[in-house]
Amino acid sequence: MAHCIVPSAEEILDREFPVLDKGFVRLVDYLGSDERIVQAARVSYGKGTKTFREDRGLIFYLLRNEHTSPFEQVVLTFHVKLPIFVARQWIRHRTARVNEISGRYSVLKDEFYVPALEDLAAQSKDNKQGRATEPFAPEVGRSIQERIEQAQKQSYQVYEELLGTDLAREIARIVLPLSAYTEWYWQMDLHNLMHFLKLRLDPHAQKEIRLYAQVILDITKRVCPIAMEAFEEYVLKGVTISGKEKEALRSLLKDRLSEQDWKIHGEASGLSGKEIDRFREKLWE
C-alpha cells in the first residue's frame, strides 16, 4: 500500500490553530490514515482495504475490543506553542517524541500567558487541584491580570539584564516564570494519542491543556475520521463500571424488560440489532 494521502488533512497542513492568548497547534506531518489501520489489521491473512462500510466496521471492532497495535501504525507530528506550565503536564505522556526550543541555545521571547478574566477564580472547595467555576468579579480579575503582567515584565527585564552581563543563557533563563511560552515538535502514534486525549479532555484536567487537547482532537479527525469517531463513541462518551455497579444494574433490569422493550429502547438510543445484543451480553456475561 502506497503512502496515504488524506485530502482533509492536506488542507490543514502547517495551518496554525490558535489556542489561549498567544499559543497555537499546527499539523506538521502525518503517516497513515484509516486505510493504514485496516491494512495493518488484515495483513495477517492477506486482505487489504475493502468497502467503506467494512472498513468502518473493522475499525470500530478493533477499538471496541482494544486491539491497539493497528492504531500504532498511524503517526502524527504537531508543532505546538504553549505555556511552560501546560508543557510540564503534557510531557508526562512519555510515549511521544519531543524536540523543544532550547533556552541554552536561543534567547527566549518576551511572550507570556495571561489568563482571561473568566479564567481567574478562587481555589475550588471540592477539587483540591482545580479552580472554582465562578470567576472573580471583573474589577478583581483585572487587578490580578495587572499584577501577573507586572511580574512577567519584571522577570523578562531581569532576564535581559543578566544576558547583558554575559551570563550564560542556560542560567539567565531560570528567572523566567512558568507562564512563559515555549515551542516544540511533538510526535505520537494514534493509539497513544488517544490515551493522551482521553486524559486531557477529561473535565478534571486543567482548562488550559483541555483547550489544546480539543484542537488536537479536531485535527486528528481530519487524518483518521473513522478511528476518531470510534474513539469518541467508545472512549470519550463511554464509561467504565465496576463489578458491583454491574451487579446493581443487573438487579435493576432483571425481568423488567421484554425483548420488545430492549429493541425499542436500544433503537431509540441509536443502537443496531447487533449492538443491542452486545449490550445485553455485557450485562449478563
Catalytic amino acids? 200
Distances (CA, A) of 189 to 29, 37, 108, 194, 224: 12, 12, 30, 9, 12
- The Cα 264–Cα 106 span in angstroms is 64
Residue type, 209: I
In DSSP terms, which residues pair with 75 in a beta bridge?
A: 31, 189
Give the H or E element holding residue 230: helix 225-231
Kindly provide the residue ranges of all beta strands, DSSP E only, lying in 137-198, ordered along the sequence: 181-189
What number of other Cβ atoms are within 10 A of residue 24's Cβ? 19
Residue 33 region by backbone torsions, left for phi larger than 0, else alpha for psi between -120 and 50, else beta: beta
